[in-house]
Amino acid sequence: MTISEPISEVDVEVTINGRTRRHRVPARLLLSDYIRDTVGLTGTHLGCEHGYCGACTVIVDGDAVRSCLMLAVQADGGEVRTVEDLAPAGSDSLSPMQQAFHDNHALQCGFCTAGFLMTLESVDPGEWNEPERVVELLSGNLCRCTGYQNIVAAVTEAWSAYHGGGGSRDG
């Protein structure tokens, strides 16, 4: 194969939510489409497909990434986590952050929620729990329903243990 011949398909091996999967995919397939259509995990949503809104945020090798700005082939050999991996497996319970979102009415239509949860999941709460830092962290994700106030309240509550707060609901 010479450099002038485009590679149309590639083999990828990606560990998603702890399970390793192998697929032959078009070289141009976006990671977001790979996760949603090839693997079938539709909890990751596409809000803009140009890297701005954050709805498609997943964790790749520990970092939050916008899966619409990455190709599936770039995740080859990597580890991907999606929103489906957050709640404890095999039970009806939610993760503490999911529970805090529920308790604080921090989602309405829910389309952006997975992106927020994955952004939050990707960081060390101890480094991000100051109020200004929370706002800074969340400002990479767009929400059109909540006005953000209850999202901030949910994060503050879920992370209250990290700064010894009382789980204030006051955004």
Partner 1 sequence: MSLDIDPHIRHSTRHIGRSVPRREDRGPLTGRGRYVADIKIAGMLEVVLVRSIEAHARIVSIDTSEALAVEGVQAVFTAADLADVKTFPDYIPYIGPVRQRPLATDTVRYVGAPYAAVVADDRYIAEDAAALVAAGTTYEPLPTVADLDQALAPGAPKLHDHWESNCSFDVAPHKPEVDRAFEQADHTFTETYVSQRQTGLPMETRGVVADITDGTLTVWSSTQSPHMVRSTVALMLGMPEPQVRVVHPTIGGGFGTKTHIYPEDIVVPWIARRLDRPARWIEDRMENLVASVHAREQRHDVEVAYDDDGTIRGVRCASTLDMGSGEIFMPGTAPVFVTNACITGGYDFPNMQARTTGVVTNKTPSGAYRGFGIPEGAFVMERIIDRVARLTGTNRADLRLRMLLQPGQTPYVMHGGGRLDSGSHTESFEQGLEMTQPALERALARYADDPDVRVGVGYCNYVEPTSPSYHLTTGHWGGGDAATVRVDPDGSVRVAAGLSSFGQGAETVAAQLAADALGVSPENVTVVLGDTERAPYGLGSWGSRGAMMLTGSVLLASERLMDKARAIAAHMLEAAEADIVLTDGAFHVAGSDQPSVSWAEVGTAAWIRYVDLPDGMEPGLETSGYFHPENLQHQLDDTGKINAAASWSNGAHIGVVSVRVSTGEVRIEDYIVVHDCGTVINPALVEGQVHGGVAQGIAGAMYEHFQYDPDTANPRFASFMDYLVPTCAEVPRMEVDHFESPAPEQPLGVKGCGEGGTVGPPAVVAGAVSDALSEWGVDLTECPVTPVAVRAAIRSAEAAGAGAGS
Per CB under 8 A, 114 contacts partner 1: yes
CB of 97 to partner 1, least distance (A): 9
Three-state secondary structure readout of 2-71 = CCCCCCCEEEEEEEECCEEEEEEEECCCEHHHHHHHHCCCCCCCCCCCCCCCCCCEEEECCEEEEHHHCE
CB of 128 to partner 1, least distance (A): 13
Per CB under 8 A, 162 contacts partner 1: no
Among 10, 21, 23, 26, binds partner 1 (CB under 8 A): 26
- Rounded distance between C-alpha atoms, residue 33 and residue 16, angstroms: 14
Per CB under 8 A, 113 contacts partner 1: yes
Please answer whether residues 54 and 140 qualify as being in contact, where contact means their C-beta atoms are separated by less than 8 angstroms. Answer: yes
CB of 86 to partner 1, least distance (A): 7
**How many amino acids of this chain bind partner 1 (CB under 8 A)?**
58
72: how many CB neighbours lie within 10 A of its CB? 25
Binding site for partner 1 (CB under 8 A): 26, 28-29, 33, 36-37, 40-50, 52-53, 55, 82-84, 86-87, 94, 98, 101-103, 105, 107-114, 117, 135-136, 138-152, 171
